[in-house]
Amino acid sequence: VGSVAFHGTLQFRHQMYDEVPMLWTVLLVLYCLLEHHDVSTHYGLPLQLALAAYAALATWATSQQDGNAQWVSFHAAFGVVEFPCLYLVAQFFRSLDESEARLRTLLRRGFVSVLRLGDRLVVDGPELLRNSEALAGL
Protein backbone atom coordinates (compact mmCIF):
# COMPACT_ATOMS: atom_id res chain seq x y z
CA VAL A 1 0.00 0.00 0.00
CA GLY A 2 2.78 2.44 0.93
CA SER A 3 4.69 1.76 -2.25
CA VAL A 4 1.60 2.39 -4.37
CA ALA A 5 0.81 5.57 -2.42
CA PHE A 6 4.34 6.90 -2.93
CA HIS A 7 4.92 5.90 -6.53
CA GLY A 8 1.42 7.00 -7.47
CA THR A 9 1.70 10.46 -5.89
CA LEU A 10 5.43 11.10 -5.33
CA GLN A 11 4.57 12.93 -2.11
CA PHE A 12 7.06 12.96 0.77
CA ARG A 13 4.69 11.65 3.43
CA HIS A 14 3.78 8.73 1.18
CA GLN A 15 7.47 8.10 0.59
CA MET A 16 7.76 7.28 4.29
CA TYR A 17 4.96 4.70 3.86
CA ASP A 18 7.18 3.08 1.23
CA GLU A 19 10.63 3.31 2.81
CA VAL A 20 10.01 2.73 6.51
CA PRO A 21 8.40 -0.70 5.94
CA MET A 22 11.36 -1.59 3.71
CA LEU A 23 13.73 -0.78 6.57
CA TRP A 24 11.72 -2.83 9.05
CA THR A 25 11.40 -5.75 6.63
CA VAL A 26 15.13 -5.96 5.95
CA LEU A 27 15.77 -5.89 9.72
CA LEU A 28 13.33 -8.77 10.15
CA VAL A 29 15.10 -10.69 7.37
CA LEU A 30 18.45 -10.06 9.07
CA TYR A 31 17.05 -11.33 12.37
CA CYS A 32 15.75 -14.51 10.69
CA LEU A 33 19.06 -15.10 8.93
CA LEU A 34 21.01 -14.71 12.16
CA GLU A 35 18.69 -16.88 14.26
CA HIS A 36 17.71 -19.65 11.82
CA HIS A 37 20.30 -22.21 12.93
CA ASP A 38 18.54 -23.53 16.03
CA VAL A 39 15.05 -23.89 17.43
CA SER A 40 16.06 -21.70 20.34
CA THR A 41 17.48 -18.24 19.79
CA HIS A 42 21.23 -17.87 19.54
CA TYR A 43 21.65 -14.13 20.12
CA GLY A 44 18.38 -13.59 21.96
CA LEU A 45 17.27 -10.36 23.54
CA PRO A 46 20.46 -8.34 22.86
CA LEU A 47 20.03 -8.80 19.11
CA GLN A 48 16.33 -7.99 19.31
CA LEU A 49 17.01 -4.80 21.25
CA ALA A 50 19.83 -3.77 18.91
CA LEU A 51 17.66 -4.28 15.82
CA ALA A 52 14.74 -2.44 17.43
CA ALA A 53 17.02 0.48 18.34
CA TYR A 54 18.42 0.53 14.81
CA ALA A 55 14.88 0.48 13.38
CA ALA A 56 13.89 3.42 15.58
CA LEU A 57 17.01 5.41 14.71
CA ALA A 58 16.78 4.67 10.97
CA THR A 59 13.07 5.51 10.94
CA TRP A 60 13.70 8.78 12.71
CA ALA A 61 16.65 9.70 10.45
CA THR A 62 14.72 8.86 7.29
CA SER A 63 11.47 10.55 8.27
CA GLN A 64 12.93 13.77 9.70
CA GLN A 65 14.80 14.85 6.57
CA ASP A 66 13.84 15.68 3.03
CA GLY A 67 15.50 16.06 -0.34
CA ASN A 68 18.99 14.67 -0.86
CA ALA A 69 19.64 14.22 2.87
CA GLN A 70 16.57 12.00 3.16
CA TRP A 71 17.61 9.98 0.10
CA VAL A 72 21.11 9.44 1.49
CA SER A 73 19.90 8.59 5.00
CA PHE A 74 17.41 5.98 3.75
CA HIS A 75 19.84 4.30 1.37
CA ALA A 76 22.63 4.30 3.93
CA ALA A 77 20.37 2.87 6.65
CA PHE A 78 18.98 0.26 4.27
CA GLY A 79 22.39 -0.65 2.81
CA VAL A 80 23.98 -1.15 6.23
CA VAL A 81 21.50 -3.99 6.79
CA GLU A 82 21.01 -5.19 3.20
CA PHE A 83 24.65 -6.10 2.52
CA PRO A 84 24.98 -8.36 5.58
CA CYS A 85 21.69 -9.98 4.52
CA LEU A 86 23.08 -10.70 1.06
CA TYR A 87 26.18 -12.26 2.61
CA LEU A 88 24.12 -14.37 5.02
CA VAL A 89 21.81 -15.57 2.23
CA ALA A 90 24.88 -16.65 0.25
CA GLN A 91 26.20 -18.47 3.36
CA PHE A 92 22.81 -20.12 3.85
CA PHE A 93 22.77 -21.26 0.22
CA ARG A 94 26.27 -22.74 0.53
CA SER A 95 25.29 -24.59 3.70
CA LEU A 96 22.43 -26.50 2.04
CA ASP A 97 23.22 -30.16 1.46
CA GLU A 98 22.14 -32.39 -1.42
CA SER A 99 18.95 -33.47 0.39
CA GLU A 100 17.74 -29.89 0.02
CA ALA A 101 18.15 -29.84 -3.76
CA ARG A 102 14.66 -28.40 -4.35
CA LEU A 103 15.38 -25.43 -2.08
CA ARG A 104 18.77 -24.89 -3.79
CA THR A 105 17.05 -24.89 -7.18
CA LEU A 106 14.35 -22.47 -6.00
CA LEU A 107 16.93 -20.06 -4.56
CA ARG A 108 19.09 -20.27 -7.67
CA ARG A 109 16.13 -19.62 -10.00
CA GLY A 110 14.98 -16.70 -7.86
CA PHE A 111 18.45 -15.16 -7.91
CA VAL A 112 18.79 -15.62 -11.68
CA SER A 113 15.34 -14.08 -12.19
CA VAL A 114 16.34 -11.01 -10.19
CA LEU A 115 19.54 -10.68 -12.23
CA ARG A 116 17.61 -10.99 -15.49
CA LEU A 117 15.06 -8.40 -14.39
CA GLY A 118 17.87 -6.02 -13.40
CA ASP A 119 19.54 -6.58 -16.74
CA ARG A 120 16.31 -5.87 -18.63
CA LEU A 121 15.78 -2.67 -16.67
CA VAL A 122 19.33 -1.48 -17.38
CA VAL A 123 19.27 -2.46 -21.06
CA ASP A 124 15.67 -1.61 -21.92
CA GLY A 125 14.91 0.93 -19.20
CA PRO A 126 15.67 4.07 -21.24
CA GLU A 127 13.58 2.79 -24.16
CA LEU A 128 10.70 1.85 -21.86
CA LEU A 129 10.87 5.30 -20.29
CA ARG A 130 10.77 7.01 -23.69
CA ASN A 131 7.80 4.88 -24.74
CA SER A 132 5.92 5.63 -21.51
CA GLU A 133 6.61 9.36 -21.91
CA ALA A 134 5.34 9.20 -25.49
CA LEU A 135 2.19 7.40 -24.36
CA ALA A 136 1.65 9.90 -21.55
CA GLY A 137 1.80 12.73 -24.08
CA LEU A 138 -1.10 11.29 -26.11
| Residue-level pLDDT, tens digit, the chain, 138 residues | 555 555 565 566 666 666 788 888 899 999 999 988 777 778 889 999 999 999 999 888 887 777 777 778 888 888 899 899 889 988 888 888 878 888 888 888 887 887 777 777 667 666 665 665 555 554
Q: Taking the CB of residue 21, how many other CB atoms lie within 10 A of it?
A: 13
- Quote the CA–CA distance of 86 and 108 in Å, as a whole number: 14
What's this model's pTM, rounded to 2 decimal places? Answer: 0.66
Give the closest residue to 82 by CA, choosing from 34, 16, 29, 119.
29
